[in-house]
Chain A
Amino acid sequence: MSNDLETAAQPQGLRRVAIDPLSRVEGHGKVTILLDEQQRVQQVRLHIVEFRGFEKFIEGRPYWEVPVMVQRLCGICPVSHHLAACKALDLVVGATPVTPSADKIRRLMHYGQVMQSNALHFFHLSSPDLLFGFDSEVNRRNIVGVAEKHPDIAKKGVLLRKFGQEVIRATAGKRVHGTGSVPGGMNKHVSLEDRALLQRDVAQMIAWAQDAVNIAKQLHAQNPALYDSFGSVPSNMLSLVRADGAMDLYDGVLRARDAAGNIILDGASDQSYLDLIEEEVKPWTYMKFPYLRSLGPELGSYRVGPLARMQNCDFIPSPLAEAQRREFLDWGRGQTIHAPLAYHWARMIEVLHSMEVIAELLDDPDILAGELMASGARRREGIGVIEAPRGTLIHHYAVGDDDLVTMCNLIVATTHNNQAMNEAVRSVARQYLDGREITEGLLNHIEVAIRAYDPCLSCATHALGQMPLDVALVGPRGEVIDRVLRSQRGNIQREDRQHDLGSSSGLPA
């Protein structure tokens, strides 16, 4: 990926447009766009304005608390953190491998999580943009608008999400802050009653998942010019795959392909991630920029998540999803698909695959009985890698003899996608904003490109009273030319005021 438009040649005297924070993504992000006097885009950056200090939050705690504590890092994919932490700490307690029952119950939990998170994102975060259009009335671009116009789609989305939450409850013990998975295995089986309840709805959920794939496919077919080009930037791709090349969202080896689809890294142990990945720090954002060491920072950035997984694997080991994957690849006519909006299609194929895996696991007697815990020689360090809904998630811990965590390093999917999201934003800004007046609809194009990656920028804080959107135009001397506030209820208010906005993050624009 190029770094064109990352830094303006002469930033002095450029107008600044800030989208702060992004709506409908986790945490707090901000996009700044510097325009010259002719409103030509000169610089575009996606910033992360909150320093989180997750690692410090974990360090010093007993290792057995970690799988529960890390769930508080994220309100959307807590199960992914729960399981990645357990996988890392399995090595610390010598549970390699965990028992078949523990492995299968964890997989059931994980695929339930991926299914419900992907369904939530598509039906309730992105479908408003996709079904109504990026320029549609802002008050319609939400799930309530979808429910009114497309009640059937909204209902399926709600019930798919609910089913996934029930899978999590049946395996983790609770649908929030579950404790089912522990270092070394699991502490409970799936009950017969829960299995029966879930099995009763499996066929319906698979049918709805197929419907979801068809909706995503139809959106591409209806407007291929938009869906194939919007924010599209070539990049490398990284994910776990099973040792035989199959898609595996719970465990596997690391594989990377270049932008043309050629394998550049394969069969690498997830325990060697530090040998494979380096993180670059840039002065204008708190979020790091990972890259493949073998290619260096200029050429080594990559994307993760459903779009990468769909094209990185050799096949999906479930028949319905594999047929859909082949159709997805055919859409690219032999070329690797890099369009961010294709994430939605790939995400829905993963929903279908997840439901097929869930159905198979629910029929497996090992989830009802069998040894749950394993143990072995104690180690001081462990690394757990899992494919979270948004992409590859890495947890790395060191534990002292006193059982306290002495080191913690987390690389989350959104961090892997940092460069790709920045490039997508620049592509969209170049195509849609250059030389034009800034409107709410045009600004939403930026957000659509970011939302395609389903970023989880920070945390689960959501206290009432926060301001969701702040857009400011700043003149060459730092004066506020225009400022638009979108209230928490979606009302737009334009202010006329003269003051220096500065940077709320303390970071440069």
Chain B
Amino acid sequence: MTPRSETIAPILVFGWGNPSRGDDALGPMFVEQLLAQSQALPGAAPLSGVEVQTDFQLQVEHALDLAGRKRVLFVDASLGCEAPFEVTVLQPSRDARFTTHAMSPEAVMQVFRQLHGTLPPPCTLLAIRGERFELGEPPSDAALAHLALAVAWCRRWLASQACFDTSVTTSCMS
């Protein structure tokens, strides 16, 4: 497909989940809070060189969103990680975790490798501990506390990345 004529931000932060299913909203809420804090906190630097995206779930086409990046941070709610959050460096993997129509971030990376014939950019998973995932429920208090800590960690993580291209402005594809 013809690529859009946009400059590609070197860092992609990708949060996914269903905003109407309790703590499953943590991924998109993470992106919202990251953007809000970068614009509102006194002394906070804008998210230069960072593109943020949200979606319901990871899918095959997201492999195309990895192209041209220097780093990617995947963010999702997790029932299996320790509270408040876990950070894992990811490797492309042929895992078979296709419980729904969704894919794991490792499998998205592997699809990238197969499509492009090269390794994907370094990818990190930020898994935020969630507790409740029922339709129509608000996020739990515990999950919101985990979310705040995760956003703070991310701001430090972004600050530590030396690959920012400050000429690129933040954009939200969600």
Instruction: Report whether B99 and A21 are in contact in the complex, using a CB–CB cutoff of 8 Å.
Output: yes
Tell me the dominant secondary structure on chain B's binding face: loop
With contacts A24-B99, A24-B100, A464-B77 known, is A151 near B114, CB below 8 A? Answer: yes
Contact of B1 among A23, A157, A163, A490 (CB under 8 A): A163
Contact of A57 among B19, B20, B127 (CB under 8 A): B20
B150 located at the interface, meaning its Cβ lies under 8 Å from any Cβ of chain A in the complex: no
Q: List 15 interface pairs A-B (beta carbons < 8 Å), by A numbering.
A: A21-B99, A25-B101, A26-B101, A56-B136, A125-B98, A143-B98, A148-B94, A459-B21, A460-B18, A460-B57, A462-B57, A465-B78, A465-B79, A488-B95, A488-B99
Q: Mark B117-151, 1 if CB is under 8 A from A, else 0.
A: 00000000001001001011000000000000000
Q: How far is the CB of B113 from chain A (nearest CB, A)?
A: 8
B32 located at the interface, meaning its Cβ lies under 8 Å from any Cβ of chain A in the complex: no
Q: How far is the CB of A287 from chain B (nearest CB, A)?
A: 16
Q: How far is the CB of B60 from chain A (nearest CB, A)?
A: 5
Q: Other than A141-B96, A200-B2, give 6 A-B pairs with Cβ distance below 8 A.
A: A72-B21, A144-B110, A165-B61, A460-B24, A460-B100, A465-B78
A166–B2 alpha-carbon span in the complex (Å) = 11
A73–B78 alpha-carbon span in the complex (Å) = 20
For B127, what are the chain A residues with a Cβ–Cβ distance below 8 Å?
464
B56 located at the interface, meaning its Cβ lies under 8 Å from any Cβ of chain A in the complex: yes
For B99, what are the chain A residues with a Cβ–Cβ distance below 8 Å?
21, 23-24, 462, 466, 468, 488
For B59, what are the chain A residues with a Cβ–Cβ distance below 8 Å?
120, 161
Number of CB contacts from chain A to chain B under 8 A: 164
Instruction: Report whether A24 and B21 are in contact in the complex, using a CB–CB cutoff of 8 Å.
Output: no
Identify the closest chain A residue to B24 (Cβ). Answer: A461
Instruction: Report whether A464 and B80 are in contact in the complex, using a CB–CB cutoff of 8 Å.
Output: yes
Which chain A residues have a beta carbon within 8 Å of chain B's beta carbons?
A: 21, 23-27, 52-54, 56-57, 69, 72-73, 75-76, 78, 120, 123-125, 138-139, 141-145, 147-148, 151, 154-155, 157-159, 161-163, 165-166, 174-177, 197, 200-201, 204, 459-466, 468, 486, 488-490
For A157, what are the chain B residues with a Cβ–Cβ distance below 8 Å?
60
The tally of residues in B whose CB lies under 8 Å from a CB in A reads: 49
Which chain B residues have a beta carbon within 8 Å of chain A's beta carbons?
A: 1-2, 4, 17-21, 23-24, 54-57, 59-61, 63-64, 76-81, 93-104, 107, 110-111, 114-115, 127, 130, 133, 135-136, 173-174
A464–B125 alpha-carbon span in the complex (Å) = 11
A24–B59 alpha-carbon span in the complex (Å) = 12
With contacts A162-B64, A200-B2 known, is A120 near B111, CB below 8 A? Answer: no
Identify the closest chain B residue to A54 (Cβ). Answer: B135
Instruction: Report whether B101 and A24 are in contact in the complex, using a CB–CB cutoff of 8 Å.
Output: yes
